[in-house]
Structure 1
Amino acid sequence: MGWIQQLDTTAFHFINRDLSNPLFDRVMPWLSWNRFFIPALILVLGYLFWHGKARTRIFVIVLLITIAIADGLVANPLKQLFARPRPFVSETGVHLLVGEGRSYAMPSSHAVNWAAGATVVLIYGGTRYFLFIATIGIFVGFSRIYNGVHYPTDVLAGYLIGALSALATVNIIDVTWRYAGKRLFPTWYQILPSLKNVVVHANQFPNKVDPTLENLQWLRLGYLLIGITLLFRLWYIAKPIIELSFDEAYQWIWSRHLALSYYSKPPMIALVQRLGTLLWGEYRTRGEIFSRQC
């Protein structure tokens, strides 16, 4: 394994220092991140969802779910597991062109997300669109090395992990729909029996839809969206990026000294926070889970 690490380090210094030039110094940081990317992505996906047919709309939904899972549930835990320092921490003479990230290096989240997105595009859009997205993803991965924030193996591992996680996510979504859709959304399932190989069976549109069943399907979808939103909020609250606000700080103090009322609030906030700390301990974020859901 020592020769792999040596090769990795040598390749990093070659890309980061030996290939350094004024043009790349301007282009590569822009490729890694720029202020136009998110607005452009929202516009493109919004247009596709609004004007596209069933396959295109499902593609947009699956793409967003896949990238969220690949980034939040796969890449970030693996970073903590491998705990590999970034090159500007462990190497000397690094040509650093972007901000120092607070997370670990392995795998590159940029590479994971682009590979996951490209894989979903390949499944739903074919090789032509895949080659376009994959080419951009390769340049972005190269920019992460050139900018001094990742080793080459971080990027290569990210591509592999992103592709595998996307394949797994798409197939899990499809299998889940085949199993649960038939039972919970029978009318919709009859029209769209697969979310991976999307073929709308127009001849399966029922001539007369049972209003009770249709309303029940929409109600079940509403419950599902509420559950997903709740899980997302719990996951987001558990991340250590949210600091205590002034109100939360003194309301947490109330939870340590229960009373019938407080200066500006009735006792329920203190009771809820106290319940959170009893269930999950005194760790600050877990104690806030209930209160921030209110």
Structure 2
Amino acid sequence: MWNNQFNISALSWLWHFASMSAAANQIVHFISGSNLFKGLPLMSILWYFWYRDRGIKSATRETIIGTLIGCVVAVLIARAMNNYGSFQPRPFANALLVYPGHIGLPAPNSQALYLWSSFPSDHAALFFAIATGIFLISRITGFLLYLYVLIFIGLPRIYLGLHYPTDILAGGLLGAVCVAVGTRASATQLFRRHFRMILASYPAAFQAGLFIVTVEIGTLFGDVRMLLDGIVKYLPR
């Protein structure tokens, strides 16, 4: 899947800049790994729209709940494809590509990066899903967020050799489709009555729980994955 002219040309052009500036590479590396530039801005905007329209029967709030459900489904599908689909090495670990290395940065040493297939990008699936949900609420804001996700989340991961452009495109399409389906009227009516009832009866508890959910979604379930990894280590074999 990676071996096409589009991927090779894009990586070849981007990697021309890999040896130009250690400081620039370190900035890109920080942005790529920082929740300050990934989940936090998008979740903040999601919460802005949540409180902008406070009605119990708010279509905006139903769209947000559908968006969060779609995000979770998109990440689960992406991870299933990573684990059970045909293996595709990440660009920096692909022996058939000439990876130049990035000046000022250490070589990637996480074993997970070598063992997980790169296709599709779960980052792209998650954050394009959120951008799609916001686009359904506000076209202008959503369009700007699509650009933001592409520039600040997708492009750094391609530049650093973590993903091919097609990984990002496939993940983005997956996320957008999951949210488009999850926010359809036929889907929202599956949770509408229960959502309204719980929000009306326990508004503080519901929104506190929702805040925790958005934090975990915005950080790609980092704490949950660490917890599960820890539990698995102590399970009898």
Q: Same fold (TM over 0.5)?
A: yes
Query: 1:113 maps to which residue?
Result: 126
For the structure 1 residues 160 and 180, does the alpha-carbon distance in structure 2 shift closer, same or farther, using more than 3 Å as the test?
closer
In the alignment, structure 1 segments of 5+ residues that lack a partner are 189-213, 230-235, 253-283, 285-294
Relative to the length of structure 1, the TM-score reads 0.55
Aligned to 1:82, the other structure's residue is in SS state coil
How many residue pairs end up in the alignment?
199
Whether the 8 Å contact between 1:84 and 1:104 is mirrored in structure 2 is yes
Superposition pairs of residues 160-199 of structure 1, within 5 angstroms:
160-171=173-184, 174-178=185-189
- 1:105–1:45: structure 2 CA closer, same or farther, 3 Å change rule? same
CA distance in structure 1 between the aligned counterparts of 2:127 and 2:43, rounded to whole angstroms: 16
SS at 1:153 equivalent: helix
- 2:150 paired with 1:138: yes
- Cα distance, 1:40 vs. partner? 5.2
Contact 2:131/2:145, CA 8 A, preserved across alignment:
yes
Relative to structure 2, which stretch is displaced further, 41-50 or 22-31? 41-50
Q: Distance in 2 between matches of 1:180 and 1:41?
A: 23
Quote how far apart the aligned CAs of 1:51 are.
5.0
Q: Please tell me the residue identity of whatever aligns with 1:27.
A: I
Give how far 1:155 is off.
1.3
2:24 aligned with 1:13, yes or no?
A: no
Whether 2:82 is the aligned partner of 1:76: answer no
Whole-angstrom CA distance in 2 between matches of 1:161 and 1:49: 24
Secondary structure of the residue aligned to 1:243 is: helix
Amino acid in structure 2 at the alignment position of 1:25: N
C-alpha distance in 1 between matches for 2:35 and 2:6: 34
Q: 1:25-36 to 2 correspondence within 5 Å?
A: 25-36=25-36
- Indicate the percent of aligned positions where both proteins have the same amino acid: 23
Q: Provide the alpha-carbon RMSD of the alignment.
A: 3.6
1:85-117 deviation per Cα after TM superposition (whole angstroms, max 9, x unaligned): 111221343435584435210111121122211
> Please, what TM-score do these two structures have when normalized by structure 2?
0.66
> What is the CA–CA distance in structure 2 between the aligned matches of 1:162 and 1:94, rounded to whole Å?
31
The 1:151/1:49 distance shift into structure 2, 3 A limit, reads same
**Aligned match of 2:70:** 66
Is residue 70–residue 162 contact of structure 1 (8 Å, CA) maintained in 2? yes
The structure with the largest alpha-carbon Rg is: 1
**Larger CA deviation: 43-52 vs 116-125:** 43-52
Matched, 1:57 2:83: no
Aligned in 2, Cα 1:177/1:130: closer, same or farther, shift over 3 Å? closer
Contact 1:74 1:165 in 2 (8 A): no
**In structure 2, distance between residues paired with 1:86 and 1:62:** 32
TM superposition shift of 1:31: 2.8
How far has the Cα of 1:243 moved from its partner? 3.5
**Paired residue secondary structure (1:115):** helix
Which fold has the larger relative contact order, with Cα–Cα distance below 8 Å and residues 6 or more apart in sequence? Answer: 2
